[in-house]
C-alpha cells in the first residue's frame, strides 16, 4: 500500500509508471482513468506496440473535483491501494469509508482519486526535531517513517510546542508544493517544495518544508487531529 514511486522527470500533472510484464497501453489507460491517446501525447516518440519491461513512461493524472469532505481529511489513491488496506491502516472498516464517500465502490478506485477519510482517533503521531531537521512519524509506539525537513530561520523560528494537524490541502498554491497540512498554531503549516536546497536547513519563515515526493506520501499517512510535537 505504501510503496510509493518518486515522481520525477515527468511533466506537471503526470506521474511516472514503469512497464510491467504483459502491460499494454490499452490495459494501463483504464487503470489510471485516462486514454491511450492521452498517454501517447505526454510521451512523445513512444511506440505503443513496442513497450519494454522496465521502461518508464508518464501517465496523465486524472483530474477530479474534491469530494464533500468538510473535515479536509483527504487521502489520495496510490497504485496498489485498496479500500481494505486503507481501512486497516486507519484502524477503521471499509463500510465507514464507503459511508463517507457515497456512490463509490471498491471497483471505482483509480490512481490520484481523492477519498474523504472519516475522522477517528489518530493511529499516528508526529515529532519534529528542529535541531536535527528530522520529522519522525510514529504508528503506535513504533517509528514508521522519518523525513528530512527544513525549518524556520533564526529570526523566524518554527514554533515549539504540541499542536494538531488541523486541515489538509491536496492542491495548494504553487509556492506550497504538492501538498499542505495546516497546524493548530495559527499561520503555520507543513508544505512541500521543489527547492531541495531548503531541506536540512533553517531557512523558512517558520513553516516546516518537505521534499514534494516526501510530502505526497506523508500527506496520506497523517489524518487531521494527529498530534505533532515540535522541539
pLDDT at 63: 56
131 in the same domain as 107? no
pLDDT along the chain (231 residues), means of 10: 48 84 88 83 91 92 66 91 95 94 84 90 94 96 96 97 95 88 95 95 97 95 96 98
- Nearest in space to 168 (alpha carbons), one of 224, 103, 207, 123: 224
And the C-alpha cell for 24?
499494454
The number of distinct structural domains making up the chain is 3
217 in the same domain as 133? yes
CA 78 – CA 108 distance, rounded (Å): 13
pLDDT at 211: 96
Establish if 3 belongs to a structural domain. Answer: no
Domain that holds residue 83: 74-116
CATH number for the domain including 162?
Answer: 2.40.440.10
pLDDT at 66: 59
CATH number for the domain including 34?
Answer: 3.10.350.10
Q: Most distant CA pair in the chain: distance in Å?
A: 58
106 in the same domain as 128? no
State if pTM tops 0.75: no
pLDDT at 35: 82
Establish if 65 belongs to a structural domain. Answer: no
Assign 3-state DSSP to the chain and report helix, strand, coil percentages, each to 5: 20, 30, 50
pLDDT at 7: 42
164 in the same domain as 223? yes
| Tens-digit pLDDT profile for residues 139-182 | 988 999 999 999 999 999 999 999 999 999 987 888 999 999 99
Amino acid at each position: 500500500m505504501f510503496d510509493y514511486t518518486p515522481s520525477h522527470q515527468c511533466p506537471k500533472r503526470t506521474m511516472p509508471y514503469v512497464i510491467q510484464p504483459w502491460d499494454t497501453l490499452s490495459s494501463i489507460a483504464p487503470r489510471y482513468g485516462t486514454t491511450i491517446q492521452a498517454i501517447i501525447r505526454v510521451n512523445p516518440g513512444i511506440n505503443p506496440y513496442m513497450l519494454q519491461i522496465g521502461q518508464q513512461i508518464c501517465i496523465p493524472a486524472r483530474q477530479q473535483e474534491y469530494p464533500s469532505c468538510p473535515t479536509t481529511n483527504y487521502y489520495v489513491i496510490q497504485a496498489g491501494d485498496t479500500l481494505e488496506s486503507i481501512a486497516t491502516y486507519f484502524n477503521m472498516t471499509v463500510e465507514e469509508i464507503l459511508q463517507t464517500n457515497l456512490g463509490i465502490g471498491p471497483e471505482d478506485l483509480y490512481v490520484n482519486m481523492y477519498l474523504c477519510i472519516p475522522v477517528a482517533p489518530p493511529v499516528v503521531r508526529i515529532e519534529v526535531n528542529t535541531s536535527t531537521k528530522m520529522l519522525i512519524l510514529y504508528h503506535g509506539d513504533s517509528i514508521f517513517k522519518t523525513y528530512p525537513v527544513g525549518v524556520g530561520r533564526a529570526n523566524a523560528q518554527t514554533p515549539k510546542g504540541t499542536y494538531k494537524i488541523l486541515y489538509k490541502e491536496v492542491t495548494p498554491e504553487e509556492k506550497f508544493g504538492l501538498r499542505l497540512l495546516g497546524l493548530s498554531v495559527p499561520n503555520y503549516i507543513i508544505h512541500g517544495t521543489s527547492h531541495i536546497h531548503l531541506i536540512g536547513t533553517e531557512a523558512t519563515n517558520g513553516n516546516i518544508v518537505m521534499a514534494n515526493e516526501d510530502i505526497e506520501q506523508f500527506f496520506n499517512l497523517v489524518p487531521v487531529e494527529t498530534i505533532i510535537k515540535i522541539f
